[in-house]
Amino acid sequence: MIRILATDGMEASAVDKLKSLGYEVIEKFYEPEELKTAVKDVDVMVVRSATKVKKDIIDAAAETGRLKLVIRGGVGIDNIDKPYAEEKGIKVTNTPAASSASVAELTIGHMFSMARFIGIANATMRNGEWNKKKYEGIELAGKTLGLIGFGRIAKEVAKRAEVLGMNVVYNKRSGAEAEEETARFVDLETLIKNSDFISLHIPKQKDKDYLIGKDEIEMMKDGVFLINTARGGLIDEDALVEALDSGKVSAAALDVFKEEPTKNEKITKHAKISMTPHIGAATKEAQTRIGGEIVQIIEDFFSKE
């Protein structure tokens, strides 16, 4: 029987479907040392962001050669050493389309939260404060939204922002221009200098520590708003706090952090940061779609065996 290990959980209907098809599904999180043993006796491993599938785990799996497929339930595969895994004969794939709408909606939600002080007003009212005059916000309509990266999620953000009356520009890291109904291509420097809101939608950087650091922030408009629902570590958190304190950045929204769970109190206690605990894909609809994609990937893979 084909054994599937879901280390970070899996949507219930997907588990039920796989079992009905005759697969054995094990839902259990393992610490790294324990995982080295567990991977030797499974054919498929399904992970989210918590489990790291790096060289040591892959080497352990390769000892028996049973593991043939690793699926990341989500968009990125930064937590998996894909080249090394495939070198060892282990296919690595993900579910890139399933959570695009959910992450896009969270991005827009954070933009509203920053623009209208929704998060901090909620918190201060619970402390008995009535800061009606303090929380004068801005409207999103007429503002320029710069999207760094223009993949599936960014395109969903662009659609929603255009309906809100925003002017949307985007940058592709490849530099290739394309005609889009809801957005206009600009180079990265132009985007950074001219956007009122900047939202990141790219993978983790391999060639530099941060995409947005002190130098990039200095290029931005005074009072800019920054959003990161993509990957932790794309923004220099120390530089961000400094810019928030000085007023250079009006507010920031973070769903992802350099360290998760984040222990950076300069971030977690900052009144100008709208925060969520990496929940971009955490909607019922996205989880159902992710589960469905995982089932289809597994069916397709073993039908060709």
- Catalytic (active-site) positions: 231, 260, 278
How far apart CA 37 and CA 41 sit, in angstroms, is 8
Strands (E), 41-174: 44-47, 69-72, 91-94, 144-148, 167-171
**Contact of 58 with 85, CB cutoff 8 Å:** yes
225 SS3 class: strand
Please state, in angstroms and as integers, the Cα–Cα distance from residue 101 to each residue in 94, 188, 245, 281, following that order. Answer: 16, 24, 32, 8
Q: Buried b / exposed e across 237-248, counting CB within 10 Å, b at 16+?
A: bebbbebbeeeb
3-6 and 24-27: which strand pairing? Answer: parallel
Backbone φ, ψ for residue 55 (5° rounding): -55, -40
34 SS3 class: helix
Question: Exposed/middle/buried for 170, CB within 10 Å: 0-12, 13-18, 19+?
Answer: buried
How far apart CA 74 and CA 271 sit, in angstroms, is 30
Structure tokens at 176: 């290739």
Structure tokens at 94: 């993900």
